[in-house]
Amino acid sequence: MTKKLNVGLIGYGFMGRTHSNAYCKVNHFFDMAYKPVLKVICGLDEKEAKAFSEKWGYESYTTDWKKVIEDDDIDLVDICVPNNVHAEVAIAAAKAGKAIFCEKPLALDGAQAKKMVDAVEKAGVANFVSFNYRRVPAVTLAKMLIDEGRLGKIFHYRANFLQDWTISANVPQGGMATWRLDVKAAGSGVTGDLLAHCIDTAMWQNGQIDSVSAVTETFIKKRMHVETGKVEDVGIDDACTFICRFDNGSLGNFESTRYARGHKALYTFEINGEKASIAWDLHDLHRLSYFDHADESIVRGWRSVHVTDGDMPYMDKWWVPGLQIGYEHTFVHQLADFLEGLDKGEPASPTFRDALATQYVCDAVLASAKDKQWKTIKKA
C-alpha cells in the first residue's frame, strides 16, 4: 500500500525543475512505499509560480513560503532557493515538524549550518541535503569499490570542478540567473557552489579532511548587479584551489574555477590506492575508469567501465545494458533513497549533519586563502 507524501517546493528555478522531475518519475521506476504528491510550489513571482504549477501539476502555488510551512497538509518542505535563505526556511520548517529536503550548500557558513543541524535534530525531523552527485551510478560504484577494500591503502585523492561560464566581464551578479556571483546570496563563489560537491564526495569516499592550505582568486573585480543596476565589487571567489591532508594519511588536491575555458561542468575525481585506482568525470558520467594492479601485466590497463548493466547501482531500474542515463537521474536516485529511509526509519545520507562537515571544510578553505595559513578542520 502506497503512502502519500505531500510536497511543498520552495523555489522554481533550475533546481526546482530537477526536483519536480524526480517527484514525477520516482514511482514509475522504483517500487516505493511512499508516493510524493505535488501540493504546492512557492516562488517570488506569482505569474511564474502559477505557470510552473501548471506545467508540473502542482495543486496550488503561492508567493509566501511561510504559508507552506504553516500548511498542516504539507509533509515535506523542499528548499530550492538561494543559499542565504536556506537557514530561515529550514529552521522554521523544522519547528513546524516538516521533513526537509534542502539544496546544497547547506548554508552560508558553518555557524549558520550548525543552527540548522541543531534545529532539525531537536525537532527530530527527517533531513537531507542534495549533494546529488553521490548518486551518479558510477560514483556510487566507486564508493562500493573503496568500501570493499579494492584500492587498499589510499595515497592520493584529487578532484576538480571546472567551468567557464563567467569569463566574460559582461556576466552580471545577482538576480534569478546569476545570484551565484553575488556574495550576499551565495555566501561564496566556487567554494560553496562547486568545491562543496567535491568535498562531500571526497569525505564520503575517503574520510575526514584534516587540514588545508588554499588560494583563491577573483579575476573580474567588479560586475554590474542585477538588482541595483550598478557596477559593484565582486565578493565571491572565481577560482579556488587547495591542498590537504586526510585523516587517513592520504594527500588531497582540489581545484575549482569558472574560468577554465572549454569545460562546462567538468567535475572529476581520481583516487590512487595501493592496489587499484579509480577515476571519473561528470562530462561522461556513465563511465568509471578503474585500474587494478592485480591484473596480469601484459593485459593490464585502465578499464573504461560503461556503468549501464543491471548489476550496477540503480541501473536495474532503468533500461538495458549499453543505454545511458543522464544528469537528472541522480535526483531520482537520491529521492528514492530518501523515501526508503523515511519508510525504514534509517535516514539516508547526506543529512544536515553530514553537510555541516562539508561546510566546515569550505570555511577553512576560505579562511586559509584569506590569511595564507594552513587550517585544521573543525569536526561536525
Binders of a copy of itself among residues 196 to 225 (CB under 8 A) are 213-215, 217, 219
Quote the least distance from Cβ 112 to a copy of itself, whole Å: 27
- The one-letter code for the residue type at 354 is D
**In this complex, which beta carbon is closest to a copy of itself, that of residue 17 or of residue 67?**
17
The C-alpha cell that represents 363 in the structure block: 570555511
Half-sphere exposure of 360 (CA within 13 A, CB side): 19
Site for a copy of itself in 261-300 (CB under 8 A): 261-266, 272-277, 282-288, 290-293, 295, 297-300
372: left (phi over 0), alpha (psi -120 to 50) or beta: left
Contact between 346 and a copy of itself per CB under 8 A: no
Q: Contact with a copy of itself (CB under 8 A): which of 7, 90, 185, 325?
A: 325
Q: Which residues contact 23 (CB under 8 A, 6 or more apart)?
A: 7, 36, 38, 335
Cα separation, 208 vs 225, whole angstroms: 37
Adjacent-strand bridge partners of 174: 178
Q: What is the DSSP string of 193-261?
A: IIIHHHHHHHHHHH--EEEEEEEEE-SS-EEEBTTT-SEEE--S-SEEEEEEEETTS-EEEEEEES--T
Contact between 50 and a copy of itself per CB under 8 A: no
Cα separation, 373 vs 371, whole angstroms: 6
Largest CA distance in the chain: 66
Contact between 98 and a copy of itself per CB under 8 A: no
Contact between 163 and a copy of itself per CB under 8 A: yes
Cα separation, 84 vs 343, whole angstroms: 31
Quote the least distance from Cβ 291 to a copy of itself, whole Å: 3
Quote the least distance from Cβ 38 to a copy of itself, whole Å: 11
Contact between 241 and a copy of itself per CB under 8 A: yes
Q: Contact with a copy of itself (CB under 8 A): which of 312, 335, 362, 365?
A: 312
**In this complex, which beta carbon is closest to a copy of itself, that of residue 88 or of residue 155?**
155
Quote the least distance from Cβ 303 to a copy of itself, whole Å: 4
Contact between 306 and a copy of itself per CB under 8 A: yes
- Options 100-108, 140-148, 180-188, 351-359: segment touching a copy of itself (CB under 8 A): 140-148
Contact between 149 and a copy of itself per CB under 8 A: no
Pattern 52-81, binding to a copy of itself, x per CB under 8 A? ---xx-------------------------
